[in-house]
Structure 1
Amino acid sequence: MRLNELKKNDDFIKREVKYGERKITLYYLKSICDEEKITDTIISPFYEIFKMDTFVDYIQSFEEWAIIDKEKVAIDKIFGGNVVISLEDKIYAVKMDKFESRSISESSEESVLQGPKDSLSEKISTSLNIIRNRYRKDTLIVKNHKLGQNSKTNLIVLYDNTLCDHENLLYLNNKLKNIEVDLLQSAGQLQKFLMDRKWCPFPLFLTTERPDRVVTNLSQGKIVFLIEGSSWALIGPARFYDFFKSMDDPVELPIVGKFFILIRYIAVIITLFFPALYVAVISYTPEILKIQFALLIAGSRISVPFPSYAEIIFMMIMAEFLSEASIRLPRTISSSATTVGGLILGQAASEAGLIGDVMIVVIATVALSIFVIPINSMHQAIRVLRYPFIILGSLFGAIGVLIGAFALLTYLCNLRSLGKPYMQLLTNKTL
């Protein structure tokens, strides 16, 4: 075998171990293999076991081992974290990988007031350990897959065999077989390959880093995907209302939990339709407002040289800039920079007569309501959809907004997640 050609890699190790007339040759990458473990579990036993047949039996006692018969297979094994062992006339591969990851930490993106604080890990075995310790049913099935021609990323599919819809599993297996990708590194990438509609703005799968959300969805018969190197799990099939539930809701008293869910839906309606209706009413039908309120808005816009739709789009884009800055800047300065920037921008624009005072209230209301959505992927989708509604409101007034809302509802009713209706309201189990 031409494994010596891998010497062009500085982290490639070829190590010959001799004891008397016996000899083995080890091939591995020190960057992804645990050298201490190799010494303790392979090299030291080689000196202690005097018969080669006994040593072969010892190699075959490892949990993950294989006999290699092709050069390409050997190279793939080496890059997969295996040690290739050449002895006598046979070649074996033993898993000795080392995966550096952070320790289990608190969930940073999905905060809760009550409940567990830990999050999933980038190491897939650690994440599986956390889930297994919380979901101890013997019906929990674990299936391994590899995706990515270059990355060969480990993917684990989890589901409860007694609760999961097997039509979903059949649909999923067909999807996974047809995925052709060079690199797979995150749950978001996998979601795009599993979606039927390429340009769909709505997330058709839940993404979460919380083990309790994973376990809850497993108990509802859903399928969970864990990806090596990503601390985020992908869950499907998802439904629209799944994105508006927090893990605090089951902990709260029933009436309190339902109230908070209602608040989130109201917030979505406000952030999606309020700017468009403001433009529609100001531009076409201001007479539907009380005379005092209409005069207040008109007075605040006396010095504004732009139409209402340009005014609100300008301010919303500025708000998007501030939101992106708060994400991209270092945490030590992001909060202060965006707060100061927002205050200065709003006050300066108002004093310069570029925007009305009422507009600042509208933008502040919209900016606050969008952050009520607990799942970030739905939060991003709603942010994008606000602008088409503003355009409809500026062109056709309130009628345009209503037509857009009807078209959006129709579109949502036609969406499918793993073949299941996205807007299905009645299920056997609810959170």
Structure 2
Amino acid sequence: MLTGKTILLGISGGIAAYKAATICSRLTQAGAKVRVIMTESATKFIAPLTLQTLSRHPVYLDTFDEFDPSVVAHIDAADSADLVLVAPATANIVGKMANGIADDFLSTMLLATTAPVIVAPAMNVHMYAHPAVERNMALLAERGVRFVEPGTGLLACGYVGKGRLSEPEEIVAAVQRFFASRSELAGKTVIVTAGGTVERLDPVRFLTNDSSGKMGFAFAEAAANRGADVTLIAGRTTAPPIDGVKLVRVESAEQMLHAVLERYDAADLVIKAAAVADYRPVEQAPTKIKKSEEKLVLELERTTDILKTLGERKTHQFLVGFAAETERVAEYAMSKLVRKNCDLLVANDVSREGAGFNVDTNVVQLYGKEGLLESLPQLPKREVAERVLERIVQRMRDKAAGEAGE
């Protein structure tokens, strides 16, 4: 899995730095090319010679140490990486990463790299729970940084609690899972819908909802990162485009319906995350509606139920629906899953703080035909997408295996 992969191992200055030797050794034995970067503080806990011997490469220590005059070392390192792993990551380096501070080789390289980043924090229990550290980690997660959560136990400072660096085996396994996931959906065609639809009253006014599209965009990015051919059909959104994902812009529910149906037969997976209007004006005025009376009465009609239509036409597709609720979430979610012939349904209570529209986090429950599968705590939407997509991929595999065995 790791053969031929270049991994930059960043080691910052905590007592857990000694575990980095085992991490480096395990990654190298697994076939990875490991290039180690150490902060000055890290060298107080473990000698660079140890990491040089285990990695079989020079260790980067100083931004101004240029081993090869033909390149700039920290840029060359940043460009070479298939993955950057920071383990252990102290509160200091997490803060630098979150705030764009570049005052040594490691922090400068982290600003320059475009490679995926995995961070394994290690610090005192109170530091880990400090609002500043929590905010920094949340910001990094929103940017796509992945975390290997620290363990709970006796810390070097004498406290017992969360903050101990995960064991090297767990960190290496997280790296292996990351690379394994990059091909999980290779050869698969995925459609994701996102954002709110717009139903026009006249050329300047419309009916819509608060959807930002961030959840759907996070799913599209996560699917693309797993090797899928992704088409993102988006209504009104605030999320930026995603490299490598085909973006189709639509406005109304009817336009979104046609855009999805045009591509549905070829799709393997459809994630229906858009917030589609249930009603539209019976008539759309060709010019701006002028004020005339104290009251204006609008006549609305139902839009076509896209998810229900897809469920009725489903042949081989794996269909994932969404339910944004404010009460009786489990009851409504299961009803929707059955009525619309979904394989999985993601539900959330949008009245909860940190969930729903126009925020960067979400709190969701995942339902299958057998009922509740998993309840996720409040997480960045990128992390929600990753966790739910793991379940989707496993379910797709189980479904394919079941059909093959029939």
Whether the TM-score (by the shorter chain) exceeds 0.5 is: no
Q: Give the TM-score normalised by structure 1.
A: 0.22
* Structure whose alpha-carbon radius of gyration is higher: 1
- Identify, as 1 or 2, the structure richer in strand: 2
- Identify, as 1 or 2, the structure richer in helix: 1
